[in-house]
Amino acid sequence: MKKKLIALLLCSVTAVMLAACGSSNEGSSSEEKVYLEDSQIQQLFTDPEQFKGKYAKLSGVLLANPEADSDGSMALQIFYDTQNYDQNFIVYTDNADASLKSGDYVKVDGKVRGKFTGQNAMGAEISIPAIENAAVTKSTYMDVVAPTTAALEPNVSAEQHGITASVDKIEYSDLETRVYMTVKNDSSDNVSLDVYGIKLIMDGQQIAQDDNSVSSFNGNYAELNYDIAAGASSSGILVFPAIEQKKDFQVVLSNVISDNYELDFDTYTLNISAQ
């Protein structure tokens, strides 16, 4: 559905964009670069003209495949607000990865050219920021949308009947908490896991996985499998709401079932120290 939404929002401004590409490298490379503060980024989208000549570091997701000019320059349309597919801006560059395509996440470092005015696919006039002389690098969903602010590598594990559950890493971000888990099956029977039932316990409060998160899909996160064959293992990233970084907590895995029905499993409780 979101991909369809992006397609409907594509701006039909390519002719004007390409015409402007030719002048995208104006200005001296030796000039002093004055960058916008983080607190000024939202103002850039409401009044780009006031920041003309300054530099900005932005990130986002490409609306469409880049438009290439005959001299190799490219024009890109990018959503800055990747959660709501909003706040798009235009980038002119001759310094970008040639493999870039619609849906890629990118980081942009360039000069504010001012306001670009054109029409969207519905015929309505739009005025959005334009960035020129830009360096554009391919990035990832995780680095652009939910960058890590702190990380732990607790390397804690628990074993029952040859089934070992491990927490390999915890990543904190302002959007989510990512729990990297591995379950290894050293038994001679297949086992099944209640992956969605894995939860956190902090200060006696249960924290379920974030059912509203789109990170696993949009970020192509590795998935912890429900069924693990004898002698095999599976690793994946579980997404929880953002939690406090300085508090200890537990990762709890219950309802592990073996094809050997004579085996009973207790709940796996993995203690994570935030210190």
Over the stretch 171-184, which tens digit does the pLDDT of each residue have? 999 999 999 999 99
pLDDT at residue 58, rounded to an integer:
97
pLDDT at residue 121, rounded to an integer:
56
Compute CA 236 distance to the chain's CA centroid, rounded to the nearest angstrom: 16
pLDDT, tens only, 36-73: 999 999 999 999 999 999 999 999 999 888 887 767 68
Domain match, 234 and 193 both: yes
- Name 247's Cβ contacts closer than 8 Å, sequence gap at least 6: 202, 203, 274
Domain match, 22 and 134 both: yes
209 HSE (CA, 13 A, CB side): 20
Average pLDDT over residues 99-116: 94
Domain match, 126 and 46 both: yes
Say whether pLDDT at 4 is over 70.
no
Average pLDDT over residues 213-241: 97
Are the CB atoms for 113 and 131 separated by under 8 Å? yes
Domain match, 134 and 6 both: yes
Question: Which two tokens mark 264?
Answer: 């009973």
Global pTM reads: 0.83
Domain membership of residue 219 (yes or no) is yes
Domain match, 160 and 224 both: yes
Compare 16 and 109 and report the one with higher pLDDT.
109
Count of structural domains within the chain: 2
What is the CA angle 53-92-69, rounded to 5? 145
Q: Which of 114, 139, 164 is the last residue of a domain?
A: 139
Nearest to 182 by CA among 165, 169, 162, 170: 165
Domain match, 170 and 49 both: no
Which residue range is the domain that position 183 belongs to? 150-272
Check which CATH number belongs to the domain holding 176 and give it: 2.60.40.1240
Domain match, 127 and 154 both: no
- Please identify which residue in the block is written with the tokens 């559950």: 165
Q: In this predicted structure, which of 22-26, 81-85, 235-239 has the lowest mean pLDDT? A: 22-26
pLDDT grade for 221, boundaries at 50, 70 and 90: very high
What average pLDDT does the structure give for the chain? 88
Q: In this predicted structure, which of 47-61, 86-100, 164-178, 215-229 has the lowest mean pLDDT? A: 86-100
Domain match, 127 and 185 both: no
Average pLDDT over residues 225-250: 97
Say whether pLDDT at 1 is over 50.
no
pLDDT at residue 73, rounded to an integer:
83
pLDDT, tens only, 144-158: 999 999 999 998 999
Domain match, 133 and 239 both: no
Average pLDDT over residues 108-123: 84
Residue 195 and residue 197: Cα distance in Å, rounded?
Answer: 5
Q: Which of 92, 118, 139 is the last residue of a domain?
A: 139
- Name 186's Cβ contacts closer than 8 Å, sequence gap at least 6: 162, 163, 164, 231
3-state secondary structure 233-256: EEEEEEEEECCCCCCCEEEEECCC
